[in-house]
Amino acid sequence: MSWQEYTVFLLESIGIYNKDLMSHYYKKIKKFMIWYKTKYGIELNDIPDIADSKLENQKKAISWRRIARAIEKNDFYLKRLSFAQTKNDDKQLMELIHKWDNLLNKTTKTDDKTLQKIIGEKYA
């Protein structure tokens, strides 16, 4: 399976349980791809499966692996794709938490300190 196929698989898997969360990731990823197209002229079909890992870690290269890893890590804000946390994202996250009570729970694994804080407050 290629990284592109894996990314689509992850999005579809999320969508089985939570269409709203899948839609959130899809919109952010689409915005990410549009930015790269505008800034560097990289078309969707030209996105590599894997880029230089050093450049990926420095957030200087686009790749399907980088996108898939962001989804794998439950990176709601997609900080790994150079997005910042916004008030609108915070509002959307809180709406998702209230709508889908199973979205975040004690067993949710994430490196994002903001999400860890929300989980801690919810289950304190």
Cα 99–chain centre separation: 19
d(CA 90, CA 122): 15
Domain ranges in the chain?
Answer: 3-122
Whole-model pTM?
A: 0.81
pLDDT in tens, 22-73: 999 999 999 999 999 999 999 989 999 999 999 988 989 999 999 999 999 9
The CA-atom distances, in angstroms, between 46 and each of 51, 52, 106 are 12, 15, 39
pLDDT in tens, 63-97: 999 999 999 998 999 999 999 989 999 898 888 87
Supply the DSSP symbol for 84.
Answer: P
